[in-house]
Amino acid sequence: MIAVLAALLMALVVPGTALAGDNNRTPRYTDEVGLLTASQVSMLTAKLDEISKRHQFDVVISITDSTGNKSPRLYAADFFEEHDFGYGKDGDGIILMLAMRERDFAFVTKGYGKLAFTDAGQEYMEKLFLPSLKNDDYFDAFLAFADAADDFLEKAKAGNPYNSGNIPMTPGERQSARLWTVIISIAIAFIVPGIVVAVWTSQLKSVRRKDHAADYIRRGSMQLTMQRDIFLHRNVSRTARQQSDSSGGSSGSFRSSSGGSFSGRSGKF
């Protein structure tokens, strides 16, 4: 009996365990602004819970009005720790945070997430949900983030986390590639016959056009009586001054206010 009570007490104080994670702590989706409907909140929370429990890795989304004086990444990391998210002793998990007043976003990861979500992988992940965010399609963006986290964790579990050598194209990039393939195919279909016709046509001409006006002048038949230098125009070359990035985006490893080690990205949407 004493051993059972001791095990229960340990489960209550270790972040990410079943007792601490399901009934008493902050939900994995929190929203101070009210971006989603009640049914969307229910669906999204259930999805985040299922992914988190299956991977033993917290996947969290938090919406706030403003981050105040904190940077988006620091705010997200502090929120993650202050609400006891994270599985195991390393606090394994990832959180997406939106600050609606500044239209800032940040997603940061801790523990095992720093291995599963490489720098190159994070850049790819951003492409999966950021277009929907920019269009204010928040529910689609959150679903895309959750699905991406699930996919990333599956790849890492298989020993092949997304990195610079195995990043796939996003759906938008695949669509663009298919469009360019069609355009190039059509262009080739018109250009090749055009070249053939031009070659055939050139062979039918017995008279060739001269490239320079002097070629049409009979040698010795023209004499200049006056010469003047007249300024006609000038060429000015200008180089644009490089502008700083107004989005304020940042990426890489950093520390939370309590000293926890995180990695992640942030920017504007």
pLDDT score of 208: 63
Whether 94 is in a domain gets the answer yes
Give the chain's residues under pLDDT 50: 1-21, 23, 176-184, 241-248
What pLDDT is recorded for position 193? 61
The reply to whether 102 falls in a domain is yes
Q: Own/partner pairs for 131-138, CB < 8 Å, 24+ apart?
A: 131/172, 133/98, 133/105, 133/269, 134/269, 138/35, 138/36, 138/98
pLDDT reported for residue 164? 87
| Residue 220 belongs to some domain of the structure | no
pLDDT digits (tens, 9 = 90+) for 91-107: 999 999 999 999 999 99
Residue 119 lies in a domain: yes
**Could you tell me if residue 208 is inside a domain?**
no
First-to-last CA distance in the chain? 54
Cβ-contact 66, 102 below 8 angstroms? yes
Q: H helices within the chain, ranges in order?
A: 2-13, 18-19, 38-55, 72-82, 113-116, 119-134, 138-157, 171-203
| Residues listed for the chain | 269
List, for residues 229-268, the tens digit of each pLDDT value.
666 666 666 655 444 333 335 678 999 999 999 999 999 9
Query: Which tens digit of pLDDT belongs to each residue from 112-130?
Result: 999 999 999 999 999 999 9
What domain range is 39 assigned to?
28-170+261-268
Domain presence at residue 247: no
Residues 6+ apart with CB under 8 A from 220: none
Q: How many domains does the chain have?
A: 1
* 9, two tokens: 């007490």
Q: Quick check: is 161 in a domain? A: yes
Q: How far is CA 65 from CA 100, 103, 104, 108, 267, in A?
A: 5, 9, 10, 18, 16
Query: Is 62 inside a domain boundary?
Result: yes
Taking each helix axis from N to C end, the angle separating 38-55 and 138-157, rounded to the nearest 10 degrees, works out to 10
Whichever domain contains 129, its CATH number is 3.10.310.50
